[in-house]
Amino acid sequence: MTDGWFDLIATATRETLVMVLIAMAVTIPLGLLLGVLLLITGRGQILEQPVANKLIAAVVNVGRSVPFIILLVAVIPLTRALVGTTIGTTAAIVPLALATIPFFARIVETSLREVPGGLVEAAVASGARRRDVVSKVLIPEALPSLVAGVTITTIGVLGYSAMAGAVGGGGLGDVAIRYGYQRYETDITIATVVVLVALVQLLQFAGDRLARRLSHT
C-alpha cells in the first residue's frame, strides 16, 4: 500500500464530505423552491398556472435526463464562470448541484402531493394566503417525508461525487481511480469503498431517526 494511505483516505473523505455538504446546501433551498412551485402551479392547486407548470416540469425533466458523466463535462464553461476553475473539489460542486436540484425537486413535489387536500382546504377556509398554505400546512405536514427525501438525495450525491473524481474532482472517487485503478493498488480501492459504505449507513441511520422523530402520525 502507498505510504501515508491513511492520510490519503482521510483527506479524500474530507473532500467528499465538503462536496456533498455544499452541494446539498445549494440543492435543498433551490430544490424545495422548484418542488413547491411544481406542485402549487399544477391543476387544481393553490397557484394553478398551466404554462409555468409545464415550463418548470420541462426544465426539471431535461435536467434529470442528462447522464451525470455527460453533465460533468458539458457544464465546464458554466463551472469556470461560476467558481473560476474547472478542476478540484470546488469545481465539482457545480455539476453536482445542477444534477441534484431537479432530482430533489421531484422528490419534494411527490412528498407535498401526499398531504391530503382537506388540510389545505381547512387552512384556506380559515382565510389562509398561499404562503400560509405552503409554510404552515404543506411543508410541516410533509416534513418527515421531506427528511427521508433529503436522505435519499444526499446518498445519491455521495455516489455522484465519486464519479466527479473521474474528471479531477478530488475526493474518494478520485483516489480510487488514481491509486486503486491506475496504479493497481486494490487495497486503496477497497478502503474507499469501505468509507463510502460506512458513510451511506450513517446517513441512512441518521435520516431515518430524524424522520421518525418528526412524525406524529
Angle in degrees, CA 193, 196, 199, rounded to 5 = 150
- Chain positions 137 to 166 lying near other proteins, rule: CB under 8 A, are 137, 140-141, 143
Rounded Cα gap, residues 121 and 109, in angstroms: 18
Alpha-carbon span 140 to 133, nearest angstrom: 10
Q: How far is the CB of 214 from other proteins (least distance, A)?
A: 8
For the CB of residue 140, give the shortest distance to other proteins in the complex, in Å.
4
| CB 141, min distance to other proteins, A | 5
For other proteins, the binding residues in 38-97 under the rule CB under 8 A are none
Q: Which is nearer to other proteins, 43 or 84 (CB)?
A: 43
The minimum distance between CB 46 and other proteins, in angstroms, equals 12
Question: CA nearest 19: which of 167, 154, 203, 202?
Answer: 154
Q: Tell the smallest beta-carbon distance from residue 122 to other proteins (Å).
A: 4
Cβ atoms of residues 146 and 105 within 8 Å: no
Buried b (16+ CB within 10 A) or exposed e, 57-92: beebeebeebebeebbeebeeebeeeeeebebbbbb
The verdict on 136 binding other proteins (CB under 8 A) reads yes
Handedness of CA 199, 107, 92, 190 (dihedral sign): positive
DSSP string, 42-70: STTSTT--HHHHHHHHHHHHHHHHS-HHH
CB of 38 to other proteins, least distance (A): 22
Among 3, 77, 125, 182, binds other proteins (CB under 8 A): 125
Minimum CB distance to other proteins smaller for 59 or for 123? 123
* Sole binder of other proteins in the list 47, 132, 168, 193 (CB under 8 A): 132
Sign of CA dihedral 174, 175, 178, 184: negative
- Pick out residues in 101-120 that bind other proteins (CB under 8 A): 116, 118-119
- Which C-beta is closer to other proteins: that of 113 or that of 178? 113
Give the footprint of other proteins on this chain (CB under 8 A).
116, 118-119, 121-129, 132, 136-137, 140-141, 143, 214, 216-217
